[in-house]
Amino acid sequence: MLQEFEPRRDAGILVVGDVMLDRYVYGVSERISPEAPVPVIRITGSEERPGGAANVALNIKSLGMDVQLIGITGADDAAASLLRLLSGAGIQCHLASLPELPTITKVRVISQQQQLLRLDYESHQARGDACVPIFQKLLADAACVVLSDYAKGALDRVGDMIDAAAAAGKSVLVDPKGADFGRYRGATMLTPNQREFEAVVGPCRDDDDLEAKGRKLGAELGLRALLVTRGERGMTLIEMAGGDCAHMRAHSHEVFDVTGAGDTVIGVAAAAIASGYSLRQAVNFANVAAGKVVERLGTAALSVAELNAALVPARPASSRMIEPDRIRDIARAARLRGERVVMTNGCFDLLHAGHVEYLETSRRLGDRLLVAVNSDASVRRLKGAGRPLNPLAARMRVLAGLACVDWVTWFSEDTPAMLVEQLRPDVLVKGGDYTIDQVAGAQTVQSYGGRVEILPFIAGHSTSAVIAAIAAEGST
């Protein structure tokens, strides 16, 4: 069993590279165009996410680490959107704005959870000089450096950055691009995928051949380690100077979308190294994290709770504990399969028989039941300083163990109104101590034709009564 990941929250990581904006346009394909043999997509929604080096930074920040991001954008609406997304996630951005360049933007058209088309807006002009002064200024405070190279120009002076970081005693992790790995000489570790690796060293007949060629390349470049990601075959970590070679199996259950998987690998590995873990431990964490993100649509990042849930296989219901940012895609996929999504919410501090009956009844109103749980801070604001008695992770874990519950997520606000707007459930459920006009999100659900259900109050069951009974017993 792998140990859980504990981030070192006072360790900052410096990410430099080609930042991008990923746009996803969702729709339904119902017919073929009369103009050409292509599907007609009826657009149903869209969203934007950080991509490239920006996604690496987001993966690190999602694990609770401080991160500073250096990159290049244009002076356009895409740059403004990217900065808004990154700043909103708490990432400290140092983006050089060059009006003559477009912000690198990738637009993916998705229908029935399949990518049909990608449109790229980009320029390959080298402008890496704009990043070097910022890098030199921020290097001293970084515990680890990540260089995310997509060959778009931000790292055209990557050798100077590696030399400066090595001289300062910083670990340098590089996600490389192209056939000239010599430009990354002196880095701590490179993380190519197998196709990129074989483009440099030639085809590998088997694992032994891969290790031999990896050791030769690592010695030539002065690396401490080489990590080759191999898709469904997992990863191979080769530690130089007499170190071991470890072949790690893939952890994904179902590959849904490999977009951004390499960003997750290097981001999680960097977070672990900066937190004091060994290279082997860091790569173990990265391997498990990559297995989770490929089960999602588009670029994605894991929280510490979600990573640790995947690391500890003794929690069979952990897959039902879902990040708020991820739940929208999961609910959308369920609706595309014709399933009705039911949502309810609450504190669920001490789960009792009344809760179970309420949740079972809610589940019968549709095909999937999502339970949204108040965060610890939200409970304290609603219930007082002595609550909750059980922390969020424990409350979610108990709910996830119920057969009637399909997904459990959380919200930090006083009400789940914002989550309701994002999720758009088919049915919103609350208990009998509410009226419809008191239900957070009710107007939103009704506005698009959804149902709001008030279930009968179940007498004789109350968390407050359970707490009072325990207190009374303890005072005797």
Q: Strands, DSSP E only, in 112-251?
A: 114-121, 144-148, 171-175, 189-190, 225-229, 235-239, 245-248
**Torsion of the alpha carbons at 94, 97, 102 and 108, rounded to the nearest 10:** 20
C-alpha 324/C-alpha 337 separation (Å) is 21
Tokens of 475: 């005072």
* CB neighbourhood size of 58 (10 A): 27
Strand partners of residue 190: 174, 226
Judge if the upstream peptide bond of residue 388 is cis by omega within 30 degrees of 0: yes
3-state secondary structure of 45: strand
C-alpha 78/C-alpha 360 separation (Å) is 45
Question: Rounded to 5 degrees, what angle do the CA atoms 285, 288, 290 make?
Answer: 105
Which residue is catalytic, options 263, 349, 376, 426? 263
Q: 263 an active-site residue?
A: yes
The values of phi and psi at residue 21, to 5°, are -110, 125
- Hunting for tokens 């009710």 — which residue is that? 442
DSSP string covering 226-257, please?
EEEE-GGG-EEEEESTT--EEEE----SS---
Tokens of 443: 């107007």
C-alpha 173/C-alpha 189 separation (Å) is 5
Strand partners of residue 115: 110
Nearest one of 157, 101, 99 to 124, comparing CA atoms:
101
Residues belonging to the active site: 263
